[in-house]
């Protein structure tokens, strides 16, 4: 089973990893495994959980960057719009 741990696809999606984690937990909960099988599955489960957490963190970081980027753009556009409106009102007076 250790070879199985080393040969996992590093490009798996979050959903694929979560499915594998769920399957691993079900196997552990079902019981009937040797101590070595149980510890190997436990190790696999921890690795899968870590990979899921890393993917969630990466997605959160990406969302934060997008919000910051578009927030600054929206903020700049709003400021420009307000300045144009002020200039237009000043000229009308």
- Given a cut of 70, whether residue 86 has pLDDT beyond it is no
Contacts of 41-47 with CB under 8 Å at 24 or more apart are 41/1, 43/5, 44/1, 44/4, 44/5, 45/21, 47/5, 47/8
Predicted confidence at residue 69, as pLDDT, reads 82
Secondary structure E strands in 2-93: none
Domain locations in the chain?
12-92
Q: What is the pLDDT of residues 20-63, one digit of tens each?
A: 999 999 999 999 999 999 999 999 999 999 999 999 999 999 99
Predicted confidence at residue 62, as pLDDT, reads 93
Domain range 12-92, its CATH number among 1.10.1740, 3.90.640, 2.60.120, 1.10.287:
1.10.287
What pTM does this model have? 0.65
Using CA atoms, how far apart are residues 48 and 54, in angstroms rounded to an integer? 10
80 versus 12: which is more confidently predicted? 12
Distances (CA, A) of 39 to 35, 36, 49, 61: 6, 5, 15, 33
């Amino acid at each position: 089973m250790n070879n199985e741990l080393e040969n996992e696809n590093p490009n798996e999606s979050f959903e694929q990893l979560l499915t594998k984690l769920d399957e691993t937990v079900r196997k552990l909960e079902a019981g009937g495994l040797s101590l070595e099988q149980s510890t190997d599955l436990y190790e696999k489960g921890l690795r899968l959980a870590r990979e899921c957490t890393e993917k969630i963190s990466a997605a959160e970081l990406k969302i934060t960057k997008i919000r910051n980027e578009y927030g600054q753009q929206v903020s700049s556009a709003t400021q420009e719009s307000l300045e144009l409106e002020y200039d237009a009102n000043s000229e009308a007076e």
